[in-house]
Structure formats: structure tokens, C-alpha cells
Amino acid sequence: MEKFKVIFQPSGSRGQVEEGKTVREAAQELGVDIESVCGGKKTCGKCKVQIQEGSFEKFNIESKADHLSPIMDDEKRQLKDTEVKDNYRLSCTAEINGDILVFVPEESRSGGQVVRKAAGDIDVAIDPIIKNYYVELVPPVLEEAEGDLERLLKELEKSHDLKDLSIDYLVLKGLPDIIREGKWKVTAAIRDDKEIIKVFPGFADKKFGLAVDIGTTSVVGYLTDLETGEVISIDSMMNPQVSYGEDVMARITYAMTNDDGLEKMNSSIVEGLNKIIVGVTKKVDMTPEDILEFVIVGNTCMHHIFLNINPEPVGLSPFPPAFHHSIDVKSRDLGIRGSPGSYIHVLPIEAGFVGADNMGVVVAVAPEKQDQILLIIDIGTNGEIVLGNSKKLVSTSCATGPAFEGAQIKHGMRAAPGAIERVKISPFAKEVKFKVIGETEWHNKTQKIKARGICGSGIIEAVAEMFKSGVIKKNGTFNKELDTKRIRKNDKDMLEFVLAWKDETSIGKDISVTLGDIRAIQLAKGALYTGCKILMKHHGIDKVDKVILAGAFGSFIDKEASMLLGMFPDCELDKVEAIGNAAGDGARIALINNKLRKEADKTAREIKYIELTVDPEFQTAFMQSMYFPHMKDDFPHIQDVLDKIPK
């Protein structure tokens, strides 16, 4: 097959690409990050690139727009006429049949995301699965020349009452040298009082573990001191699988439709995690070999791909996982760098879409130990909800879609510098104030960072403010009687509300919220609210004591805005609490407390999973939940705000 030269700018990545591959596939091969929100289905239009025509001496190529497959109607629909004229193409669909130079515009570049996953304080007893035991061995003599291992085992039994221990083969291999290096004084790191996974020469009281949260979009590792529970360094990155599809369904489909799809995604996350391991240890002058134990959380799809298990059944109703129980795997079996004898513990899965990440949240919040009724919502591309207390726990998962993360939104983008994250609209003049990530003050003309798009928390607040100021009605439609130039029809003949004018943005055009965006938010928040309501019905309650918002996203959305939109049922605003990346916190807890780790397996199976779509009231509940804040339900705790909405 013929190969062609492909060059990406501004990164400068270049290489030979086989004929017939799409620009996006070429980008993947050459390590160029291009947004791919819809996973190559030509619906999001976010992967647009510009073909630079001409001869490029420096690269020795003649780049032409017609070195790509002809533009199709579907593709055209995602592009403006002027863009078509300027040789813009969707990278997911344009196929290469000649040398090209591709420019990836700023708005199409992924990466540079602000990963908002700091480590919160956690308060649990320190009782890790790994314990260090120091022993002083009697050196062998001719009269008593027993083997090194037997000598070590005997002494561990004698001084520490540890019986029937096994030893990792690679640890055993190095044992004679270590014992002699320590001059017959060694410290054995023993896992769960069963297996010797590391032997240090002499006395060693330090031991470290890594808790990892593999999110669909970002991966975070917390290097933790297993003695103190303290997080000593954090490293994070975009999940490198993003280039195979933005959401879990796109990735499952990638595994289904490509023979080596699972392999590719598995190696990309293993490679990514190894980078984090190197990064997180380097920051504190350590090496990957210093890590004795790993705990991993992630949604069911991330969990399966990480373990190299086919995720296909998870993508099809009734969505069964390959297994629920937690699992311990030698890190070397998965190609993960760590101490040679180290294990990876992966938290259990509750049900299909309520995965090990949600189990992390449950471990962190511990609703099974509380009397008050908690409504725990983890908002991501999928919303996972757990409801209940020590008496009864139910859970569900709802397809919120990626709208809350800024995808499927016309000007949506990730939480990166330039993303509008806060919005205020004045009730009468309908004038807009906004704040972008990267600036501390509300936007003004002197600021360096201009608006580039709207992130998840920004779109929530924008739509909530539009509702609060009367720009849109309860049913999501625009109030057409308003006289403001911010409400207008766009080139697709759809109503929209302008948040930022061209001169306030860095993308050369206005940034607006369209009716289509509002519809996407209605569907997403309707799904979430419906999940809450149906769980409450199954639990037999009509109000909750506390709403807990897990996930980084929950920390950045305004509580009042989220209640105005009706993302969840009414509750005292003071009782709505955002707890940040609880999945990561749960992983850290499982790393430093073995008892809680073991309880998680039990709790996971006690939480009753409720499938929403089979509930006879689902359709009606969903329909009513799409209104702001709801078609019928009362919201006494924000009634004063609702009363003030200009009619």
C-alpha cells in the first residue's frame, strides 16, 4: 500500500501514513492530540483541521486539499461555508490519498486540560495491607547451614508469629544478596501476613503505595506514604485513550470493531500509567521500584480495558461486567512498573455501569455506616447515584451524556485556560459577566486570556442564569419577547444567546449558548433527576437528608445553579456538599486501610442496583424532569429565587 507524508502543525509531528487512513488516524499514529468528542461519528465537529495548500520546501512536500477524500454532505453540515472554502475538514472523516500538511487549530487541540483532582484530607486509621518486619538472622555455620529463605521464615515466625508465609519468586531470586548486604539484618515487607513481597537490607520503616484513579478523561496517581497515609506527590495526565474515543461507549465500540482495539487501548493506558509512576516518584527523588502496592479505581469500562478484559458485554444491555469482585494482580503481569513483587488491587464493581470508581466514592463516604439518608451523585459522562443509609442502599446509573463536561455543546470545551467557567446575567438588561479559567477576575478588556469556549461548570451556570434572568422559560425555549441583541438566530437558523462577543474571545467569533445546547442540558439533567427520583421511590422516601456531589465537576458547579436547573431533587442548600474526587479518596483509603478495603467487597454486593429504563414510571419521570427545575416537583429551598424570575 502506498504511503504519504503527513505533517501536523503547530506540533510539527510528521511521518508516513498509509493511503486511506483518516487524518485523525494519522494524528493518533503520530501522537498528535485532536479533540474527538463524538468518536469519529461526524456529529460534534470538534476535530476540524485546516489543510495548508502549497509546496513546503522544508518538508519536501506538495500539500493539496484534494489529497484528501472528497468532502461529504455530513461533513459539510459541521462546517461553515467559509471554512469549507478555507479547506477545513473533519479529521475523523477525511481520508488521506496524497501528501498533506495539516494545521490543528487551537480549538481542536486536546490536552492542556486543568486536572482538578487534588487530594482531600481523609481520616481513617492507618492499617495498610503491607507491613514491614525487621529481623536479625543468625549467620549459618558448618554445624547449622540451613538455607537463607528457611532461616528468614523461621526468624519471622519466632519474632513476629508469622506462619506459612510464601515469597515472590523475584524477591527470592535476590534474597541471598540482600541478606548479605544487610549483614544478616533485613526487613521483610509482607502483604496481608501471607506473602513476602520485598526484602530490604537492614532496617527499613518506609513503604509507599500508589492510589490511581483512571478516569475516562484523566488519570491521577497519588503517591502515598503507607506509614502516615500522607500523599507525598501527585501526578496526572489526560487518559491517552482519549484519541480512541471520548466516552466509554466510543471506546467499547473501538474494541468491538477493531481486532487489536482492546490491545491498543490497554497498552496506551499501561504506558500512560507508567509515565505517571515515573513522574510521581521522580518528584520526590524516588524510583518506581519503591512502590510496594497499587490500588486502582475506574469505571467498569476503564477497569476492563486496564485489565485487558474485553469490555464488549458492558456496552450492551443488560451490561454485565466480566466480574464484580475486587482482584489482586502482580503489577508485572500487567506491565506496570513498581517493586518487582508488588500487587495491584482493583476495587470491586457494583453493577454494570456502577464501577470501581463509584465503589471508591462509597468507600470514601461510607453511607453504609450512617443513619441519615444520603444521596450521593457522581457526575461524569455517566451519572452514578447511590442512595440510602446503614439500613438500605440502592444505586443506579444514568446516561447523562457528555453535555455536563462541555461536549455536545456548540462552544463546549474542557476545563482549560480560556474556558468560560462562571457566568452572571443581569435580570433586566440581560447583560453578561463571565470569568475564564486562568484569570482570577471577571472578564474585562485588559485581561490577557480571552474566552475560547465554555467548560462544564460554565455551561451549567450559563443555562441556570439564562433561566434565572428569564431569557429561557421553564420548558427550555427562549423568551422571544425579550429585546436584546444577545438573543438571535445563528447560521443554522437556531436561536442562541451570546455570552461573549467576538472581541472578547480568542477564536475570532462570538461564543454563544444555543437552543440545541439547552436541549442537551435538559436531557442530561433530566436523566440525572430521574435517576434520583426513581431511587427515592425504591427506597420509599420522598426527601433526602443530604446531597453529596462527588467528582471534580461537583466541586466547580454552583449549588444554587445546579438546583435551579433541577439536577437533583430539592434539599437544603447547606446540606448540598461537594466532596471532590471521592473516587481517588476511596482508592487512597483502600491503600492505607486493609480492613476497609476488605469491607468494600461486601458493601459492593449489598448495594441493590436499580435499572431505570425498566421502571414503568421511567418515561413519565424523565419527561417531567426535563423542565427547569422540574415540571411538577416543588423546590421549597429555592422558591424565593424562583419567585424572582422576571416573567
Residues that bind other proteins (CB under 8 A): 39, 41-43, 72-75, 93, 249-250, 252-253, 256-257, 312, 315-317, 399, 475-477, 494-495, 515-516, 519, 522-523, 611, 613-614, 619-620, 622-624, 626-627, 631
Task: Provide the minimum distance between the beta carbon of 72 and other proteins in the complex, in angstroms, as a whole number.
Answer: 6
Dihedral sign, Cα of residue 40, residue 41, residue 42, residue 46: negative
Q: What is the 3-state secondary structure (H, E, C) of 398-461?
A: ECCCHHHHCCCCCCECCCCCCEEEEEEECCCCCCEEEEECCCCCCCCCCCCCCECEECHHHHHH
CB of 400 to other proteins, least distance (A): 13
Shortest separation between residue 626's beta carbon and other proteins, angstroms: 5
> In whole angstroms, how close is the CB of 521 to other proteins at the nearest point?
11
Residue 68 or 165 with smaller CB distance to other proteins: 68
Supply the minimum distance, in Å, between the C-beta of residue 49 and other proteins: 18
Least distance to other proteins, CB of residue 381, Å: 12
CB 295 within 8 A of CB 591: yes
Residue 262: CB minimum distance to other proteins, A:
14
DSSP string, 495-559: EEEEEE-GGGBSSSS-EEEEHHHHHHHHHHHHHHHHHHHHHHHHHT-S--SEEEEESHHHHHS-H
Residue whose C-alpha cell reads 475506574 in the numeric block: 298
Q: Sign of the CA dihedral 345, 347, 352, 353?
A: negative
Those residues whose C-beta lies under 8 Å from the C-beta of residue 24, and which sit 6 or more positions away, are 34, 36, 40, 47, 91, 92, 243
Least CB distance from residue 613 to other proteins, whole Å?
Answer: 4
Q: Which residues of 524-535 are buried (b: 16+ CB within 10 A; e: fewer)?
A: bbbbbbbbbbbb
Q: Which is nearer to other proteins, 478 or 553 (CB)?
A: 478
Tell me whether residue 382 or residue 395 sits nearer to other proteins (CB atom): 382
Q: Of the two residues 492 and 502, which places its CB atom closer to other proteins in the complex? A: 492
Residue 522 beta carbon to other proteins: minimum distance, rounded to whole angstroms:
7
Q: Which is nearer to other proteins, 393 or 403 (CB)?
A: 403
Closest CA to 566 of 496, 463, 437, 497: 463
Nearest 10 degrees: CA dihedral of 329, 357, 326, 275? Answer: 10
Nearer to other proteins, 390 or 477 (CB): 477
Q: What are the cell numbers at 477?
A: 425555549
Q: Which long-range contacts (CB under 8 A, 24 or more apart) does 570-575 make?
A: 570/543, 570/633, 570/634, 570/635, 570/636, 570/637, 570/638, 571/375, 571/543, 571/544, 571/546, 571/547, 571/637, 572/637, 573/637, 573/638, 575/545, 575/546, 575/547
Q: How far is the CB of 193 from other proteins (least distance, A)?
A: 43
CB of 616 to other proteins, least distance (A): 13
- Beta partners for residue 96, in sequence order: 68
DSSP letters of 463-506?
A: HHHHHHTTSB-TTS-B-TT---TTEEE-TTS-EEEEEE-GGGBS
Give 172 or 494: the residue with its C-beta nearer to other proteins.
Answer: 494
Looking at beta carbons only, is 448 or 632 nearer to other proteins? 632
Dig out the grid coordinates for 599 from the structure.
469491607
Find how far residue 175's CA is from the centre of its chain. 41
Closest CA relative to residue 408, chosen from 400, 397, 416:
400
Buried b (16+ CB within 10 A) or exposed e, 114-141: bbbbebeebebeeebbbbbbbbebeeee
Q: Which is nearer to other proteins, 249 or 642 (CB)?
A: 249
Residue 287 or 317 having the CB closest to other proteins:
317
- Our CB check for other proteins shows the closer of 254 and 556 to be 254
> Which one, 132 or 514, has the nearer CB to other proteins?
514
Q: Which is nearer to other proteins, 113 or 382 (CB)?
A: 382
Minimum distance between the CB of residue 479 and other proteins, rounded to whole angstroms? 13
Q: Give the nearest distance from C-beta 245 to other proteins in angstroms.
A: 8
Give 316's DSSP letter: S
